[in-house]
Structure 1
C-alpha cells in the first residue's frame, strides 16, 4: 500500500507540473496580444475598435470551443492528447501572427487561436477530477488556476521588455516557442487516469460511476437551474474580469495619463494579486464546505460574494478618486483588484464541476465556460464601442454596476438554500 501511495503521489506531481505550467503556456499564447496592443496600435496605427475587433474575434470562437471540447473530453476520454495538441497548434498560430501585418490576418489568426485555446481548461478540469480526491479538490483547482496569474504576471514584464528591446513581433515568436516545448512535455509526462498506469481509481470512493451514469442524462444536466444561474453570473463577471485585464493598461495610459512603465507594472501586480486570490478562494471555500457540509457546493458562494465586494471597493477607488498618483499606490490597487477578480474565477469552475453528476463534469464545466467566454467576447469590440462613445470613466462605472448584480444574485441563491436547509 505504501508503494502504491508513493507511486500515486509521483503521478500527482507530474499532473501538477503539466497542468500548472501547461495551462500557464496557454495563457502566454493568449495574452501575447493583450500585452502587445499598445505597441501594435503605435506601430501599425490600429484604433481601439480595430483592437476590440481582434479581441472579440478570439472570444467569439473560444466560447463555442470550450463547450465543444468539454463534450469531446467526456466522449473520447483522452484529455492528455487534447491538452497537448491544442497548445502546440496555439503556439504555431502565435508565430504566424508575429509574421503578419494586415488587419484581416490578425483577426483570422486570432479567431483560430480562440478556437484552439478551448482545448486548454476542459481537459485540465477532467484530469483533476479523476486524479484528485474530493476533500482537496478546491485547493488543487485553485492552485492550478494560479498558473494563469503566474504566467500572466511574468509575461507582462517579459513581454514589455521584449517589446522595448526587439519589437512586438518577438513577443509572439517567444510565446510560440515556449508553447511548442511545453506541449511535448505535457504529452510525455501526463496520463489520462490512475487506471491507465495500473492504480486504483479514486472516483470509486465517491460513487458508483456506472450506476450514476445510468441515473443521469445530458438532459438532467442541462435542466439544472443552478447551472444556469451559475453560468449567467459567470457571463456577467467575465465581462468585468476580462475588461479590466485587457483594457486597464490603455485605461491607465490614456485616461489616467500614467507612463507606460507604470501601467505595465500595475498589470503585473494584477496577476500577482490573482495568485493570492486563487489560493485564498480555494482554501477558504474548502474550509467552509468542511464546516457546512449539508450546503454542499453552495457553501462556496459566500467566498465569491465577499471577494466581489472587495472588487467593487477598489474599482471605486481606481475610477472615482484622484489621490492615486504614485507607482506603489497603483500597484496596491491593482494587487487588490487581481485578488478580488481571480479568486472567484478560481472556484467558479469548482462549482460547476462539483454540482455535476459523475461522468458529466466536462459538459457542465463547458456550459459555464461558454457563458464566461460570451462575457469575454462582450469585453472586446462591444466594450471598445462603449469606451469610444462614453469614455473610460463611464465604461468602468458600467463594470462596477455589473459586479453588483452578480453579488445580489448569488446572495439570493445562498440565502434561499440556507432557508430551505433550515426548513428541512
Structure 2
C-alpha cells in the first residue's frame, strides 16, 4: 500500500524537479541567477521604503499630533525592536519556506500596514496604538533578510558569495535613499501632509513586491538545476547529509547548529559590539560635532549623509577583499576592517578643535566606510558557517543580538555615558568595542580555518576521483 503523500502548504519550500539536461542547465542557470539576485536586491530595497518613515516626518507628527520626542522615540523604537525579534523567529520559518512567496508577502504586508497608518485616523491617535501598529510593521519587515539569505546561500557558492552579498547588502542604502526621494516628493505634492510619507512609499513597495515575485525562485533544485556547489565545483564550508535516514527536526537543527554553535554564538556577540559602534557614531554625529566643534546642525546632517554613502563603498570593498585577497577567510577580513575602524575612531575623537571641520566629516566617512563592511560580513559569515538548512536562522540570530542589544547600547547607553562621564569616556568605550570585535573574529577565524581546510580537502578529493574516472574510461 502506497503511503499517502504529505500535503504541502503554499508557503512550503518546493520539492526538487527532475534534473534538466546539461544543455538546458547551461542555458538556464546564468539567467536564473541574474533574476533571483535582482529580485532580492529590489525586494530588500523595497523594505527600506517603509521602515523608518516615522523618524523621517517626526517634526510634522509632533506638530500635528502633539507628540513629544519621547513619544516619537517609542514609536520609532517599536519598529526596530520588532524587527530584531522577527529577523530571528521569522527566519526559522523562512528556512523551510519558498523564498519566492516569503519575501514578497512580507513586503506587501508591511506596505499594507503603512497604508493603514496613513488612512485610518485612530491609528495615530495615541502613542500606544501607533507604537503597536509600527511593531506589527517591524515584524513583517523581518521577512526580508531571511528570505534573501536563503536565496544567496542556494544560488551563489562560497568563493563568490562575499562579493555578491556585499552588492546585495547595498540595497538598504538604495532603499533608504529612495524613501527620502519618495517622501520628499509626496510631501511637496500634499503641502507637508505627513500621511503622504507613509502611503506613497507603500504604493511603490507594493509594486516592488510584485516584481520580486516574478524574479525570485527558491532553489536551483526546484527549477531542475543542480545545487550551486555542484554547478560551480565549489563545496560549502559546512554541509549536512540531507539523504540520511535519521533526519533531526528543524528545532533540533537550530539547537545544534545555531543556538549552541560556538561560531554562531560568537558572531552574535560580535554583532552586539559592531551595531553599538555603528549606531554609537551615526546617531550622535550631529550632537558630537555641535558639542565639541561648534558645528551647525546642517554640518552634522552632512556627516550623517557621508557616513551612509561611504558605507556603500566600504561594503563592496569588504566583499571583494574577503573573496579575492582573503580567499573566503571572512574572519581575517573582519579583523582588518575592525582594526582600521578603531584607528579611524581614535583619529575622529582626537581631532584638534582648531582643525578644519571638513577633517572631522572626512573621518566620519572613513568610519562609515569601514564599519559597514563588518555589518555585512557577520551576516555573510552566519550563512557561510552554518548548514544551508538553517542559514537564514543563523543570520537572524546574529541580527537579534545586534538590534536588541547593540542598538540599545548605542542610543541609551551612549547618551547616558555622555551625560555622566563625557565624550572621552564614551569614545574610549566605543574604541574598546572595535578591539573586542577584532578579538572575537580571531576566535571565529580559528574554527573557520578548520572548516576551510576540510572544504579544500574535499574539493581535491573530488578532483582526484574525477581524474581517475576519466583515466579509466580512456
TM-score, reference length from structure 2: 0.75
Cα distance in 1 for partners of 2:262, 2:240 equals 25
Q: Is the counterpart of residue 32 in structure 1 residue 53 in structure 2?
A: yes
Cα distance in 2 for partners of 1:383, 1:370 equals 18
Aligned to 1:294: none
Q: 1:171 aligns with which of 177, 184, 197?
A: 197
What root-mean-square deviation, in Å, do the aligned CA atoms of Structure 1 and Structure 2 show?
A: 3.5
Q: Which moved more, 1:339-348 or 1:382-391?
A: 382-391
Q: 1:180 aligns with which of 206, 215, 222?
A: 206
Q: 1:411 aligns with which of 430, 442, 446?
A: 442
Aligned to 2:39: 18
Q: 1:6 aligns with which of 2, 10, 27?
A: 27
Cα distance in 1 for partners of 2:377, 2:401 equals 15
Q: Is the counterpart of residue 126 in structure 1 residue 150 in structure 2?
A: yes
> Judging changes above 3 Å, is the alpha-carbon distance between structure 1 residues 340 and 261 closer, same or farther for their aligned structure 2 residues?
same
Instruction: Pick the structure with more helix per residue.
Output: 1
Q: Does the 8 Å CA contact 1:153/1:267 hold for their aligned counterparts?
A: no
> 1:379, CA displacement in angstroms?
4.7
Deviations 1:326-348 (A, max 9, x none): 4x545523321221121111111
Aligned to 2:176: 152
> 1:267, CA displacement in angstroms?
2.4
Aligned to 1:316: 346
Q: Which moved more, 1:251-260 or 1:403-412?
A: 251-260
SS in 2 for 1:30: coil
Q: Is the counterpart of residue 400 in structure 1 residue 431 in structure 2?
A: yes
Correspondences of 1:132-281 after superposition (within 5 Å): 132-156=156-180, 159=183, 166=192, 168-204=194-230, 206=235, 209-211=241-243, 217-218=252-253, 219-221=255-257, 222-249=259-286, 258-281=295-318
Q: Does the 8 Å CA contact 1:55/1:380 hold for their aligned counterparts?
A: no
> 1:137, CA displacement in angstroms?
1.3
Deviations 1:375-420 (A, max 9, x none): 3551576348627844873555543332232223323554787799
Q: Which moved more, 1:276-285 or 1:199-208?
A: 199-208
Aligned to 1:337: 367
Counting matched residue pairs gives: 413
> Judging changes above 3 Å, is the alpha-carbon distance between structure 1 residues 103 and 213 closer, same or farther for their aligned structure 2 residues?
farther
> 1:6, CA displacement in angstroms?
3.2
SS in 2 for 1:210: coil
> Judging changes above 3 Å, is the alpha-carbon distance between structure 1 residues 388 and 414 closer, same or farther for their aligned structure 2 residues?
closer
Deviations 1:260-299 (A, max 9, x none): 4434343222222111111111111112443xxxxxx7x2
Cα distance in 2 for partners of 1:12, 1:3 equals 14
> 1:245, CA displacement in angstroms?
3.9
Aligned to 1:53: 74
SS in 1 for 2:51: helix
Q: Does the 8 Å CA contact 2:153/2:388 hold for their aligned counterparts?
A: no
Extract unaligned runs of 5+ from structure 2.
1-21, 454-474
TM-score, reference length from structure 1: 0.83
